[in-house]
Structure formats: C-alpha cells, structure tokens
C-alpha cells in the first residue's frame, strides 16, 4: 500500500511540474543544491511560499528559463556556476571572458 501511495505521489508531482513557472523551477533546482534533506525541504517550502508572494514578470520568467537549463549544483561554487545559476551580478561580469568578474568575484 505504501508503495502505491509513493507511486501516485511521484506521478502527481511529475504531472504538476509542467505547470510551474520557470522561476519556480529555477528555485527548486537551486534547492536541490542544499546539502541535507532538511535544508532541501526548507528551501522548497520557501520557494512555494515566495511564489505566492512575488509574481515574476515575463522578462523574469524568460531569464529564469534560460538559467534553469544551465544551472548545475556541481558548479555552484565556481564563478562559471554562479553565472549559470544567476548569482553573478550582471553589471560586474563580462560575459565575454571566463575570468570577467571584478576582484570581489562579482557575487
């Protein structure tokens, strides 16, 4: 019985994931980068709460859609990873160069 409930929960989650905005998907991708399951769950809850409070614009959703495909937890602590996940300050980084951030790293 527990296995059946788990399968149903996974199926419902998978079917609902297509309804999430790109910014919500990016938030959830970033939550996956958390070290512990407690931190991941807290992050996911915060993402759900923030989605109902902050409505992203069409431009925000477009930017998030670009980032969600490139964001990778394995690279999150590198300058490239920060750029790909949207953590780099756009005004501080030169997209043309790999080492194009200011001395403070642009983060």
| Each residue's pLDDT tens digit, 44-98 | 999 999 888 888 899 999 999 999 989 998 888 898 988 899 887 654 444 444 4
Range of the domain at 100: 72-107
- Any domain includes 37: no
C-alpha distances in angstroms, 49 versus 24, 26, 28?
10, 14, 12
- Any domain includes 18: no
- Any domain includes 102: yes
Task: Count how many domains the chain has.
Answer: 1
- Predicted model pTM: 0.62
C-alpha distances in angstroms, 73 versus 30, 69, 103?
7, 12, 23
- Any domain includes 24: no
């Amino acid at each position: 019985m527990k296995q059946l409930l788990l399968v149903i929960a996974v199926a419902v989650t998978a079917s609902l994931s297509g309804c999430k905005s790109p910014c919500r998907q990016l938030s959830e991708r970033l939550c996956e980068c958390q070290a512990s399951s407690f931190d991941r769950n807290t992050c996911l809850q915060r993402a759900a709460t923030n989605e109902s409070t902050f409505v992203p614009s069409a431009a925000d959703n477009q930017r998030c859609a670009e980032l969600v495909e490139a964001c990778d937890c394995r690279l999150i602590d590198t300058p490239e990873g920060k750029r790909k996940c949207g953590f780099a300050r756009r005004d501080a980084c030169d997209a043309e160069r790999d080492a194009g951030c200011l001395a403070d790293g642009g983060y």
